[in-house]
A and B are shown apart, each in its own frame.
Chain A
Amino acid sequence: MLAFMSTLFFTACSNDDDFVAETPDSETPGTENPDPEEPRGDYDNGILVLNEGGTGSVTYISEDLASVDQEIFQTVNRGDDLGAYVQSIFFDEEKAYIISNGSNLITVVNRYTFELLGKVDAGLSVPRYGVAMNGKLYVTNQADFATTADDYVAVINQETLLVENSVIIGDAVESIEEENGILYIQNATYGAGNKISVFNPTSSIVEATFTTNDALNSIEIENGSLFALSGNKLQKFNLTTQALESEIDLNYTQDGGSISAGNLEIEDENIYFTASNKVYTMALNATTAPVNALITYQTSSEYGVMYGFEVEDDRIFIGDGGDFASNSFVEIYDLNGTLLKNVEVGLAPNGFYFND
């Protein structure tokens, strides 16, 4: 019984990985909204906070941080829910795909109105992250926790929402990024792993791998480079050749013990990452690690410190996991480290997504 419960807990405690939301606006061709001033739904112009929950939920915070709506999916779709342990959301134009790793479910909604559009409820086994590309959805699935040999990418038809193909990757899978038609899959999860697979969706083959430092936890792709953050190193690789170009050692301590760095974010030529309850920043081309923290936030959480983290629109977003059994909070800071707002949200906020 405890084995079972422990595996659920491990699911709940994964580090959130970076995800940059697509932001359709009036300059992008093919957008649905002809009038840029008219909101496209109740939940336009704001931030979506994903609460992992026992049963997941989404909190909406308006752009000006003035209004907050809890459980917006349940409000719009009475009697329905998002499934157990929602892991992440990915987008394609106006569609949002909300992944529940505990119920093997992806709920498709309109990202502005949150009306239900469909569900993927077959063919998934502990789905974690996904991307949409060329009419298909590529979603990483961890399947059995006891082995990484069965981890796979589910290829889902975007129209029918049926899984067409399951490609075994041969290593652990976690976050997935798309760049120029190629998918990059992090082969590291729960503090273990050191590879990134380069997956070609046309051929369905892993064509190359990056080898990083151990305990890889987050990656970002920027300007033809792949940045990989493990507990104590930030590495920069050439995206096409997988060659290591440079690396910086990170040695942060707290209360006499060393703490690992995680939650890599790159925004507007700056790198951000966290260690325990602190946020650090440095320039994209910096060669030494920052010494002082930009932000230190107050938390009493025993195991949910910095459970969600995102940098977007000149603001820094921190999600606190709390005790995983009651509502928790998020904090929003400006880039100087000044606290703008503390907002109560649902259980275990693990991600931030943006409608603007």
Chain B
Amino acid sequence: MKYFIFTFLLSLCAFQAFAQNDSINVLEEVLLSSKKLEQFSTGQSLTTFTDSTFIKNDPLLTSFLNYNTPVYFKENGLGMVSSPSFRGTTAQQTAVVWNGININSQFNGQTDFNTLSIAGYDEVSVKPGGGSVLYGTGAIGGTIHLNNNLDFDPKYQHQVHFSYGSFHTYDARYGWKLSKNNWSVAIDLSRNQSENDYEYPDDKGKNRNGQFYQQAINTNIGYQINKNNTLKFYSQFIDGERHFSLIRKSDTKTKYQDINNRNLLEWERSFGKFLSVTRAAYLEERYKYFGNLSTQNYSFAEAKTYIWKYDLQYKPTSNSLINGIASYQNTQGKGSSLGNNKREVTSFSLLGKHQLSPKLTYDVAFRKEISHSYESPLLYSLGVIYDIASFYDLKLNFSKNFRMPTFNDLYWEGSGNTSLKAEQSHQVEVGNIFKFKNATINITGFYNDINDMIRWLPSNNSVWVPDNVDAVKTYGGELLADYSYTWNQQKLAFASTFSYTISKNINTSKFLIYVPKTKTTFSAIYEWHRWFLDYQFLYTGEVFTRTDNNSKYNLDAYTVSNLGAGFQLDKNNNNVIGIRTKNIFNKAYQSVENRYMPGFNLNFYITLNF
């Protein structure tokens, strides 16, 4: 049984393990035994980052993922609205999952990655490819997982992190962990803010009206009732305000406030060959959009979501696993353009995992959702890992995923279309993982066919109505590689990602806009005694900005390099002071038309653990 878990966990994770203390921007492997994520990602790749890397990075999730994964981000300027594109899909086709709960907005179905900070989580995992069977709507291009791990090893620690940098940017984080007897408590507070008044290149002026702040408190409590019963409570409260930066001096000034409150209570119980997890969650999302700062007027929406989930796992033999999950979700939404609306979704899933032989494991899963608001297809996935040689694993995965219409799609005043169908996607991926003494290489190819894509199109009264109109095909490959070597008191480590993506609208045979064909990231770390130097490189290829692919309006490809240096004050406690310089060659680049990113900038940081 232990051999079984150990083998499939090793083969699932794409990267080699590094010691906890010394990774900076390097990817780490975390071994956990009971998270659904690792268990049922057979045939797919999973990349996990832990909090020791977070400390040395800027807080916003966009920048962290942009430099370390193949996911492409377009941002309307630093800190502004940020949308991911995972394997050439849209922002709504990437699901963000918090401790197992899908947290994409109920209103527009996506998550703005600049509203999420990496502070307050123990690990962030990235899984390209479909995940609807496990995580429901929107898990078409990939899923991003934000997890807190509560363990009961005795500990009592504080962590303080503070950084200050260009454009009056502050980032402060405080974390407190206490584990004693049968209790485990972790509290994290964070605030980051910036005036964000950077200069545009070529004397185009300053970034105006771009100031923002975000503060959050994460509280996680675990109580071990006895050897077989554990209670866990996860909670977060995030409050942010962003002014949207202007393109031209005379543009109307606007700002956006959002509050997110998420609470999850979990009861894990193991008995005989069974493991049952009962969960109850309450999520609240609210926003206010101020369309003109010279007035106090705003438009708003709020949604309250209640979720109940019952998850039962059964291990009939030592190398097989059956899992049944039932869940009920009730969302009530209202807003200045939404009216009061309610949506209920009930879902049933059945998953099975079986190790046929020491070298071959597969899993099969089904999910069906029932709701009055839309028709959901039967979702399924099949994954296989084949341990061909000691250094080579072959992975295969085939799945059907979906995205349900959002509240805005269904209920927007005068436009909502309640007869919308869910978007559907069929995808297949093949992964080759090579593991050597100091290096890992992962080469994966994928193909994704998406139908009934929801697009907003106006009818003949200049009023916009959403409809299922588009069909998109995406395919390509990813290459992930890392290498690490330690000698004497020195260490050198490299990590690199490369992705190639083709994403086409089948009806028009044109490439989707804002999907680069190639993207590369590279990072290198050098450690010597208690000093370290780290370098990050990003290359993003050209993108189309016109649906007819008129190349005259393409955004140029760009490269950005960051360089950081630091000193470990006390190697055992991971106390670090450092400096990060970004865009060291002061390149002018935009990821969205007319939205420039900052030139050379830097920040200082200090992290203390005691």
Contacts and interface: CB of A to CB of B under 8 A. Distances in A.
Contacts of A105: 248, 250
A302 B513 CA distance: 18
A146 B456 CA distance: 21
B299 interface: yes
Contacts of A9: 456, 458, 464
A55 B292 CA distance: 20
B461 A191 contact: yes
A257 to B, nearest CB: 8
A12 B549 CA distance: 21
Interface in A95-129: 102-105, 121-122, 124-126
Given A13-B462, A144-B297, A104 B251 contact: yes
Q: Interface of chain B, helix or strand or loop or mixed?
A: loop
Interface residues of B, number: 42
Interface in B17-31: none
Interface stretch (A28-36, A308-316, A322-330): A322-330
A34 B411 CA distance: 62
A224 B349 CA distance: 74
Contacts of B289: 1, 3-4
Contacts of B295: 143-144, 150
A327 B292 contact: no
B318 interface: no
A6 interface: yes
B464 A303 contact: yes
B153 interface: no
Contacts of B294: 125
B488 interface: no
Central interface residue in A14, A122, A146, by most chain B CB within 10 Å: A146
Contacts of A3: 289, 291, 299, 301, 336-337
A144 B462 contact: no
B550 interface: yes
B547 A104 contact: no
B292 A125 contact: yes
A144 B457 contact: no
Given A13-B458, A191-B461, A303-B458, A2 B412 contact: yes
A146 B548 contact: no
A54 interface: yes
Interface in A1-55: 1-4, 6-7, 9-10, 13-15, 54-55
B107 interface: yes
A323 B251 CA distance: 24
Contacts of A121: 248-250
Contacts of A102: 251
B112 interface: yes
A276 B459 CA distance: 11
A347 B492 CA distance: 51
Q: Chain A contact residues (Cβ within 8 angstroms of B): what range?
A: 35 or more
B252 to A, nearest CB: 6
Contact of A326 (B250, B301, B462, B546): B546
B460 A276 contact: yes
B594 interface: yes
B462 A14 contact: yes
B449 interface: no
A325 B547 contact: yes
A297 interface: no
A135 B548 CA distance: 44
A126 B299 CA distance: 18
B291 A144 contact: yes
Contact of B513 (A1, A191, A325): A325
B125 interface: no
A103 B546 contact: no
Interface in B330-344: 336-337
Nearest to B467: A302
A339 interface: no
B299 A103 contact: no
B297 A6 contact: no
Contacts of B463: 191
Contacts of B459: 303
B81 interface: yes
A84 interface: yes
Contacts of A144: 291-292, 295, 297
B546 A260 contact: no
B250 A1 contact: no
A121 B249 CA distance: 8
A2 B107 contact: yes
Contact of A124 (B250, B291, B292): B250
12 contacts: A3-B291, A4-B254, A10-B462, A84-B248, A103-B248, A121-B250, A125-B292, A146-B291, A146-B297, A303-B462, A325-B546, A327-B548
Given A143-B295, A190-B462, 16 more contacts: A1-B108, A2-B412, A3-B289, A3-B291, A4-B291, A9-B456, A9-B464, A13-B458, A104-B251, A121-B250, A125-B292, A143-B292, A144-B292, A191-B462, A259-B460, A326-B549
Interface of A: 1-4, 6-7, 9-10, 13-15, 54-55, 83-84, 102-105, 121-122, 124-126, 143-147, 150, 190-191, 259-260, 276, 302-303, 305, 323, 325-327
The 5 closest A-B pairs by CB, nearest first: A326-B548, A303-B458, A13-B462, A121-B250, A325-B547
